[in-house]
Amino acid sequence: MGLDNAKLVREFTGVVPEVVSTDSLEAAMTASKAAARPGDAVLLSPACASFDLFRNYENRGELFKNWVEEKA
C-alpha cells in the first residue's frame, strides 16, 4: 500500500511465501486477520514513509491500535 508498494511487491515476490498487496490499512488488517492462526502475532512494521496515506507515524500507529482493539 502506498507509493512504494509496487517496488516492495516486486522485490519480495519469490523471496517470501506469500505477498498480499492492499490499498489501505483496513484492507491489510482484514487480510492479516484472515491469514492469522491462533497464537500468531500481527505486527505493524512499516518499511517506508507513508505520508501519502497518513498524517504522520503517530496517526498510522493509532489507526493500527484502534483497529486491533475494535476488531481483533
Per-residue pLDDT of the chain (72 residues), as tens digits, is 677 788 888 999 999 888 888 888 889 899 999 999 999 988 877 767 777 788 888 988 899 899 889 887
What total of structural domains would you count in the chain? Answer: 1
Q: What is the pTM of this model?
A: 0.68
b/e per residue 41-57 (b: at least 16 CB within 10 A): ebeeeeeeebeeebeee
Can you give the pLDDT at residue 1? 65
Q: Give the pLDDT score at 51.
A: 72
The domain in which residue 26 lies consists of 5-71
Q: What cell was used for 25?
A: 490499512
pLDDT at residue 15, as a whole number: 94
